[in-house]
Amino acid sequence: MPTIKFWKPYRVLTQFTDDEEGRETLADYIDIPNIYAAGRLDYDSEGLMILTDDGNLNHKLTHPKHGHPRTYWAQVENIPDEEALNKIRRGGMAIKNYKTRPAQARIIEEPVLPKRNPPIRYRANIPDCWLELILTEGKKRQVRRMTAAVGHPTLRLVRAAIGTMTLDGMEQGKWLELTDAEMQALWRSIKGSL
């Protein structure tokens, strides 16, 4: 069975079944038996996912002790100053019942992405900008909670990379099988995997 990378669209569940009618799931995009998502991505977030039938790889990608990098692009309200970015960078932010690890955070140019449907609500009197955040943990809704905690709610969130895997050369809603070279690079990017 292959290990694949998938560009999850907005409002798609990161599971293959759903008890509610009308919501899209991974089954609407991927027809490979016995393959499972290595981690989750919120229903209202977009971007890169890895799916595999390799239980060891799945564990390495999801267990917090392996702490591999995940890169997110977050469109946020207003323009964060260095103080706000430094709070994210230092770590130790109290989010729900845990404290965040240090993360990388910087303002970036707007990335080239497909239009979101529905689009982000435009508000002429409230500016926005894009941040790149690189985390080594993946708590539920963590990026959104971190940006909100420093006064800059997330409007759109895209996971751009997992370890060495990126969205480069991909189309939204499509998947690609990882090549042997990509698999080797992915294993190398996971702490303690070799």
Clarify whether residues 40 and 81 are in a common domain.
no
Of 133-142, 148-157, 166-175, least confident by mean pLDDT is 133-142
Name the more confident of 171 and 65.
171
Q: Do 2 and 62 share a structural domain?
A: yes
The pLDDT of residue 119? 85
For residues 84 and 19, state if they share a domain: no
CATH number of the CATH domain containing 60: 3.30.70.580
Q: Are 55 and 75 part of one and the same domain?
A: no
105 and 138 in a single domain? The answer is yes
pLDDT value of residue 94: 87
Q: State whether 43 and 16 are in the same domain.
A: yes
The confidence score (pLDDT) of residue 96 equals: 81
Evaluate if residue 135 carries a pLDDT over 50. yes
Q: Is the pLDDT of residue 194 over 50?
A: no
Same domain as 129, residue 58? no
pLDDT tops 70 at residue 192: no
For residues 106 and 175, state if they share a domain: no
Average pLDDT over all residues of the chain: 90
Domain count across the chain: 2
pLDDT of residue 123: 80
- Asked if residue 82 and residue 127 are part of one domain, the reply reads yes
Supply the DSSP string of the chain, one letter for each residue.
Answer: ---EEEEEPTTB-SSS--SSTT-B-GGGT---TT-EESS---TT-EEEEEEES-HHHHHHHHSGGG---EEEEEEEES---HHHHHHHHH---EETTEEPPP-EEEEEPPP--PPPSSPPPP-TTS-EEEEEEEES---TTHHHHHHHHTT--EEEEEEEEETTEESTT--TT-EEEPPHHHHHHHHHHSTT--
Q: 176 versus 21: which is more confidently predicted? A: 176
pLDDT band at 117 (very low <50, low <70, confident <90, very high): confident
Which of the following is catalytic: 28, 42, 53, 81? Answer: 42
Question: CATH code at 98?
Answer: 3.30.70.1560
pTM higher than 0.75, yes or no? Answer: yes
Residue 13 shares a structural domain with residue 53: yes
Compare 158 and 184 and report the one with higher pLDDT.
158
- Assess whether 148 and 82 both reside in one domain: yes
The question of whether 42 is a catalytic residue gets the answer yes
Task: Say if residue 88 is in the same domain as residue 155.
Answer: yes
pLDDT band at 193 (very low <50, low <70, confident <90, very high): very low
Q: Which domain holds residue 149?
A: 69-162
